[in-house]
Amino acid sequence: MKLYSTKNPSTRVSFKEAVFNSMPQDKGLYMPVEIPRLEDKFLNNLDQFTLPEIAFHVAKSLIGEDIPDDDLKSIIHDAINFLAPIVKLEENVFVLELWHGPSLAFKDFGARFMSRVMSYFLEKGEKQLDVLVATSGDTGGAVALGFLGVPNTRVTILYPKCKVSDIQELQLTTNGQNIRAVEIDGTFDDCQALVKQAFTDKELKERFRLTSANSINIARLIPQTFYYFNAYAQMLKLGIDKVVFSVPSGNFGNIGAGLLAWKMGLPVDHFIAATNVNDTVPEFLKTGIYQPKPSVSTLSNAMDVGDPSNWVRIADLFKGDIAILKQLVTGYRYDDEQTLHAIKFIYDDYNYVACPHTAIAWQALRDWQQDNAKKDIAGVFLSTAHPCKFPDVFPESIAGKVEIPEQVAQLHKKRKHSISLGKDFDGFKEYLLKNG
Ligand SMILES: *Cc1c(COP(=O)(O)O)cnc(C)c1O
């Protein structure tokens, strides 16, 4: 597999280089030089394959010879060791549950696959890989559990004090082994600024082999295509071959993977980009003007992104064909009141508890089906996290109905370990150097 930078289309790097660099020097994003179209024989018979089989076929088509078949198979079996079931809620309304992995969010797909690919590419005797990651909640848990016990790696997670939920904090701070958590007295943006500055600091770069685990890494994007193919396979099993996906979006990695799957031949009818009031992309789809804004805090905080980092990839996938992009993707945006209303509706009508991000995707699907008189097209909305991760969002009557999975019950028995730091870079740097 060869990749180029969106800022410099003539560059060529290997998959390994792209994974370790995460972002090119020129601050573009890596994209595959060739996006293979999968054979009709595979696409038409998706329902004959299991999730790991689909994942292998899709990954192999993209990655090619960079990872030999047996190694790629074992990476996939180890990383994607949980299911992504589709549940029918009513005629033509289905939910794709992407939170059956260890951190209870869809980010497990990307983080677990990426950690194993990185570990695979680390050669014997190579310097330990130091992964720095800033999180507003879900990324940190998925990355921590993805790298836990992976040889020759160490993860440092920065999270904003008092701004993640209790369960999220436990997921970040109770791992031990090669995972350490740093609680920053500041916001998520402060955490991200510290990580960014660390990557440009000469002394730190000499001392450590630093890499980032955020959602722009190409090794996080690839595994997210797997569940689109697998969801379509499940729909085929139900006798349905015309599908629209509604994707709750923040940094646009998730829907970006869906669009990549579409480019590879997955016959998706339409995509819906559902956001909270951080609506830079829905605005663009409406007006044609891409105007990033500072992010605004909402109940669906994993989507509080004013300048989605993966948008560049989507623009690149459709370069020159923005008209096609606009035909394929519709944007919708909702405020917190509408989000709560959707959560209540889903609970009352389907006896189903959806996390706030998921509820936004459902509302967007419903509105799209109504606005376009397309109630006869099967809609699948993506459920990106288990509701127990956002306990404060729900009214009491619904909160009591949220099931607590076994791994969360176990978390409550563990003790939090984290280091508290301010938001100044010098303190963070000193901590890294002293604890190297
Ligand atoms: C990260 C996240 C999102 C947003 O996904 P993007 O790929 O950044 O668009 C949505 N929902 C939940 C629960 C998340 O953790």
Q: In a structure prediction context, what are the per-residue pLDDT tens digits for the chain, which is 436 residues long?
A: 999 999 999 999 999 999 998 889 898 999 999 999 999 999 999 999 999 999 999 999 999 999 999 999 999 999 999 999 999 999 999 999 999 999 999 999 999 999 999 999 998 778 899 999 999 878 899 999 999 998 889 999 999 998 888 889 999 999 999 999 999 999 888 998 899 899 889 999 999 999 988 778 999 999 999 999 999 999 999 999 999 999 999 999 999 999 999 999 999 999 999 999 999 999 999 999 999 998 898 999 999 989 998 999 999 999 879 999 999 999 999 999 999 999 999 999 999 999 999 999 999 999 999 988 777 899 999 999 999 999 899 999 999 999 999 889 899 999 999 999 999 999 999 999 999 8
CB distance 273 to ligand 1 below 6 Å: no
Catalytic positions, please?
107
The best mutation among 311, 384, 389 to test binding of ligand 1, ranked by most ligand atoms within 8 Å of the C-beta, falls on 384
The CATH fold assigned to 69-105+220-399 is Rossmann fold (3.40.50)
Q: Which is the closest atom of ligand 1 to the Cα of 389? A: 13
Q: Which is the closest atom of ligand 1 to the Cα of 358? A: 11
The best mutation among 172, 251, 360 to test binding of ligand 1, ranked by most ligand atoms within 8 Å of the C-beta, falls on 251
CB distance 108 to ligand 1 below 6 Å: no
**pLDDT at position 237, please?**
97
Ligand 1 centroid vs 303 CA: distance in angstroms? Answer: 6
Residue-range domain boundaries for the chain: 69-105+220-399
Q: Which is the closest atom of ligand 1 to the Cα of 248? A: 10
Q: Which is the closest atom of ligand 1 to the Cα of 138? A: 15
**pLDDT at position 154, please?**
96
Structure-token match 């669009």, residue found:
259
Nearest to 248 by CA among 148, 381, 55: 381
- Note whether 118 and 20 are within 8 A (CB): yes
Distance between CA atoms of residues 192 and 176, nearest Å? 22
CB distance 252 to ligand 1 below 6 Å: yes
The best mutation among 357, 383, 393 to test binding of ligand 1, ranked by most ligand atoms within 8 Å of the C-beta, falls on 357
Ligand 1 centroid vs 385 CA: distance in angstroms? Answer: 8
Ligand 1 centroid vs 194 CA: distance in angstroms? Answer: 22
CB distance 24 to ligand 1 below 6 Å: no
CB distance 258 to ligand 1 below 6 Å: no
How many Cα atoms sit within 13 Å of 362 on the Cβ side? 31
**pLDDT at position 14, please?**
97
CB distance 105 to ligand 1 below 6 Å: yes
**pLDDT at position 39, please?**
97
CB distance 254 to ligand 1 below 6 Å: yes
The best mutation among 95, 218, 303, 353 to test binding of ligand 1, ranked by most ligand atoms within 8 Å of the C-beta, falls on 303
Q: Which is the closest atom of ligand 1 to the Cα of 99? A: 13
**pLDDT at position 192, please?**
86
**pLDDT at position 250, please?**
94
**pLDDT at position 189, please?**
82
- Note whether 408 and 388 are within 8 A (CB): yes
CB distance 228 to ligand 1 below 6 Å: no
Ligand 1 centroid vs 433 CA: distance in angstroms? Answer: 32
Amino acid found at 192: Q
Backbone angles phi, psi at 154, to 5 degrees: -140, 140
CB distance 278 to ligand 1 below 6 Å: no
Ligand 1 centroid vs 216 CA: distance in angstroms? Answer: 13
Distance between CA atoms of residues 225 and 343, nearest Å? 27
Distance between CA atoms of residues 135 and 123, nearest Å? 28
